[in-house]
Homo-oligomer: A and B are copies of this chain.
Amino acid sequence: MSSVAPASGLRERNRVRRTRRVERASLELALEHGVDHVTVDMICEASDISPRTYFNYFGTKEGALLGLGNVPYAESDIEVFLSAGGHIVEDLLHLVAATFVASEPDRDVYLMRRRLFAREPELQGLQLARMAGKRHALTRVVEQRIAAERPDLPPAEVCDEAQLVVAVAAGAFPVAGRVWAEREDAAEHIEVVIADVIARVRRIVAS
């Protein structure tokens, strides 16, 4: 209920402003000193917030670095995925991409994050860890679609297949994101990039 809140009240606007300020501050500090030479107290001082409040917002020290990625998949996007008839991995990537785009309005912060992640791979690990929760949910959705598409498949196979689909998508998404971020020139539609990446995966696995 809060993820897509229209930021109407003063309260909401303050919250958003604060979040941005803290995220930006934490990223700047981490880029300058390295993640583990940054303390929560430093972040708080730089963004004028109390440590207690920091944890209320972000939960962990790295929370601000990763961003509040708690945005759940929109019902409507899930419906689209379930009733889409395209290549399943491709459709799934579109679902993920839509959610991603919806949750990340600040390109500036996004780029800093990218730079930081490139420098400190452990963060990417944390990112993955956070995704792990979502993967469960996602896998179920994929199972649903597979079961609907091929009703004669035994449930165990459906489960395996869904896991593999999610795994491939989860692996391909960062690559697609990277390619997309590099070709910032024309803001090429992510659909093209996704199709391209899938084609590559196909070639790799088929060879």
Partner-binding segment picked from A17-25, A31-39, A67-75, A163-171: A163-171
Q: Known contacts A121-B133, A129-B126: does B167 contact A172 (CB below 8 Å)? A: yes
The answer for the CA separation of A169 and B123 in the assembled complex, in Å, is: 21
Stretch at the interface among A7-15, A76-84, A194-202: A194-202
Interface string of A187-205 (1 = CB under 8 A from B): 0000000000110111011
Q: Which residues of B contact A88 (CB under 8 A)?
A: 204, 207
A169 nearest CB neighbor, chain B only: B171
| A61 is an interface residue with CB less than 8 A from chain B | no
Shortest C-beta distance, A132 to chain B (Å), equals 3
Residue interface mask A88-112, B partner, CB < 8 A = 1: 1100000000000000000000000
